[in-house]
Chains A and B, each alone.
Chain A
């Protein structure tokens, strides 16, 4: 039941955060193990989904600190990351895919807390209140982290595109 409902969400969160398919599978398994060990501690007043995502977030950030993934590269931008959207204009499609590739590769440049906030907001589409609950942070801090993350990625995108156009 828990696996059916939440495994896909947790796996995607782990994959977007770690950037490695294999690593994301192992992390998902670890998170479910932790979940079964912690179920007794679950406070029924809390939203279960937010509680589980908090547990997943804590595990991902802890593992990041232990293993220092920032030194590792993310999986190649491949068929997993390509959008299913069909573009009428192939040139526009290619440009969009190029931006996505740069963004995908740049996510590891973000510090873990900011990375997680941006993933929850912009990839998973959660609202700020949900993110504040998952991250256990005030709303203002969450908004400021999302802004900082987006700015950092936008600056990298700008720089890389400028470099490419200057060649």
Chain B
């Protein structure tokens, strides 16, 4: 057998997983080929060294970090984590302001003063709107009059087939 083929069989030979026939062939080759025999002994040493690496204990710090993971996850398990989305933050801020104002109004001892003041402001606003509405109506009337006058003048101009008199 060639050395390359033997190399493929060294691990199974080391772990006693070869058939009797293969085992005999490898054994025979190792007796006659020095390089394969040296390689095999180093493979044995490698396997032995690897098996000898001790299992390490983990640090207290790492244990603490690992124990804190499920707790962190639970906070988000209720399904309200969407509230923490940045896009919802302005909405949440506006809601908080509205609720603060409502509670300020509801629990204020001088509530009737606020009511009066609000009602006065509403009436003032209402009367201002009425005045504006009246002004707008008179402005629309005067515009209508101007329009009629202009139309009459145009009809009387000869250029447009009207009577100049």
Contact = CB atoms under 8 A, between A and B. Distances in A.
Given A29-B65, A32-B69, A155-B39, A8 B55 contact: yes
Interface residues of B, number: 34
Q: Is the interface of B mostly helix, strand, loop or mixed?
A: helix
Contacts of B58: 7-8, 11, 25, 28
A147 B66 CA distance: 35
A155 B42 CA distance: 7
A143 interface: yes
A156 to B, nearest CB: 9
Given A150-B11, A151-B39, A154-B42, A32 B52 contact: no
Contacts of B138: none
Given A11-B62, A28-B58, A99-B49, A151 B43 contact: yes
A158 B39 CA distance: 7
Contact of B50 (A11, A25, A32, A103): A103
B45 interface: yes
Interface of B: 7-8, 10-12, 14, 38-39, 42-43, 45-59, 61-63, 65-67, 69-70, 73
Interface of A: 3, 7-8, 11-12, 15-16, 25, 28-29, 32-33, 36, 80-85, 96, 99-100, 103-104, 118, 122-123, 125, 143-144, 146-147, 150-151, 153-155, 157-158, 161
